[in-house]
Amino acid sequence: MEKFKGISPHKPLRTDVNEIRIVKLLPNVFNAPIECELEHITIDVEADYEALSYCWGDASVTHPIRLNGRVYPITTSLFTGLNYLRLEDRPRRLWVDSLCINQTDLDERSHEVQRMRDIYEKAKEVIIWLGDYHPFTRLYVKRVFDYVTKLATCWEDEEEEALISAWGFDELWHFQTELQDFLKTRQWFQRIWVLQEVSVRPNPWLKNVDITPDLICGHLRLPVVYLRQVQNYWVTQPTTARLSLPSLCPTLDRLRLIWEGHQDLMGQEPHPFANQLVWILSLVAAKFDATDERDTIFATLGLLNAKSIPSQVRPDYTKTASQVLIDCATFLIEDSNFVNIIQYNSMQTTQLPSWVPDWRYNARHPIYAGSETGPGIHSRVLEKGNALEVDIMPFTEISMLGPKFEIINTEEKMFNVWEDFFLDIGECLDGRKLPARGYTNFEEAVWQLLIIFSINFQWLLDPGCFEGVLGDNAPSFIRRHSLDVSARGHSTLEKDFMEDSLKIISESVTNKYVFRCADNSIGIMGQSFAKPQPGDMICSIRGACSEFVLRPLIKGYRIIGRCERTIRTLELTMTEVGLLDWMGTTHLLSVLSELWATADFHRTTIY
């Protein structure tokens, strides 16, 4: 939960009953002063309130309302939302975190965060406030919502075909582009608290407007399930032919996956707590934003049974963000030997030991609930969380450092950016003199490396997406700056697909350094701005699925980041990598255990 300071009119909650506060939004006309009253209620199955899901926005910019007769500051986002949500003829009973939780009481904040799962689950309805129409107009947003509604309410394939035929492909593409532009401006879809606010509800993905949450923009409403369904309707022509394109809204994909996984996690035979926590963190934490870094952990805990949360990781806003992350990592190592968590560090949180994940890195493999850590894995937390003792298996050293991929001029054509990158990388890594090991063509090796890396980074995508659009060896294709597709029709569309694929790869590799190793392999760093140097070691850490770059210290090592190379411990094709992403860590760890059974390794300490 984001930081906020205000004068508190809150009375203490009773601890002997399941009591919460709700806020009554008093009736008035639009743009009239906002007045609210706090009311204490006991949560039951038929609780009479609506739970509001929204983005706080900038807590330093506030607007006054009346709360229990006293002036109380709230953020612009909530102020605007209450103005639109207010009814003219009767009060509206809401649960709003910034109003119903005493933000000045850290103990209460810590306690109430653990109850938010129940609060959203038992609300009679969840409403999702996306903001007002800005930067668009009401007419624009209505057109987008109408498009989604019409397409999503086609109950039969024949209706869908008829609608698409009536619109025509150009109009369909135009609507879809407008929808994408709208979604990009809605911060709600990047907010980590949405995980529990939506996922704990009864199936929000059923095509039933009575149980699915509503997205609200201004005075307009859209059932969230409609938006989910439109992702299935990317159609190139009126003959039901479909394309595997990047997701319209990846957040909805992840929310559905979380909802389905949540049912399994909390089922009749729930997985151990550590398995539940590590699965959710590894799957989504890097893909959502939290203003308060502690909420990366605390918002995730809200999906789980509050009574099962161990004391080491229980929400506690008196702890620093670093201590919260160290305590969480220590618990996962000591409780279940989850060494694999070390790959989830963005390497940009400087106050953390390099082995402690800040969960801001979109790592290659989510750690699936029920996965085994494998036999023979050694790990031991030392020096109060400042060090981790593990086994490592060295492979090679970095011999040359190349450039990082970056887009300096956003107006420059993507083709030109990529052409310059291939020229720079060839010069820095002696591409002409030393073709990469296992390849006859240096550029082919680099291109395949970047595609594999992008599939790992965007693991929800079909691996065939890049192969089908860009081909196996794109550098020469990039230099031509265009593709002759006149014989196949829809040339504009296919060029758009190609550009979208290049953008996806660019997003994956931007600010990642490329390097050459002593064994003549080519590698790329996993984390942005993580800069290796000649002499750094490439190794495997027992219990983790990635290869890592380690830098020697006076004693032990420091992790510089994880990496991907053209020569890996496991020789995998592009399709196999995609399949392994879906299979998760269990299979990879079992394969790696066979390698470790005969390998030379040594025990060391990582700081």
Q: Mean pLDDT throughout 221-233?
A: 80
CA dihedral 82, 87, 91, 92 (to 10 degrees): -50
Q: Mean pLDDT throughout 196-202?
A: 70
Could you tell me the residue range of the domain that residue 447 belongs to? 389-607
Q: Is 486 inside any structural domain?
A: yes
Q: Is 25 inside any structural domain?
A: no
Out of 472-476, 555-559, 565-569, least confident range: 472-476
According to DSSP, residue 531 is labeled -
**DSSP states of 540-586:** EETT-SSEEEEEE-SSSEEEEEEEEESS-SS---HHHHHHHHHH-HH
Question: Over the stretch 17-72, which tens digit does the pLDDT of each residue have?
Answer: 889 999 999 999 999 999 999 999 998 766 889 999 999 888 889 999 999 999 99
For the cut 80, the answer to whether the pLDDT of residue 104 exceeds it is: yes
Per-residue buried b or exposed e for 95-122, using 16+ beta carbons within 10 Å of the residue's own CB: bbbbbbbbbebeebbbbbbbbbbbbbbb
Q: Is 493 inside any structural domain?
A: yes
Q: Is 478 inside any structural domain?
A: yes
Q: Which pLDDT score, from 0 to 100, does residue 570 have?
A: 46
For the cut 90, the answer to whether the pLDDT of residue 587 exceeds it is: no
Q: Is 586 inside any structural domain?
A: yes
Q: Which pLDDT score, from 0 to 100, does residue 343 have?
A: 87
- Separation of alpha carbons 228 and 149, rounded Å: 11
Question: Over the stretch 131-180, which tens digit does the pLDDT of each residue have?
Answer: 999 999 999 999 999 988 988 887 566 666 677 667 766 777 788 788 88
Q: What is the pLDDT confidence band of residue 381, given thresholds at 50, 70 and 90?
A: very high
Kindly report the average pLDDT of the chain as a whole number.
79
Q: Which pLDDT score, from 0 to 100, does residue 92 have?
A: 96
Q: Which pLDDT score, from 0 to 100, does residue 583 have?
A: 40
Q: Is 44 inside any structural domain?
A: no
Q: Is 380 inside any structural domain?
A: no
- Separation of alpha carbons 566 and 262, rounded Å: 36
According to DSSP, residue 16 is labeled T
3-state secondary structure of 49: coil
User: Which of the pair, 193 or 186, is modelled with greater confidence?
Assistant: 186
Q: Is 527 inside any structural domain?
A: yes
Domain count, the chain: 1
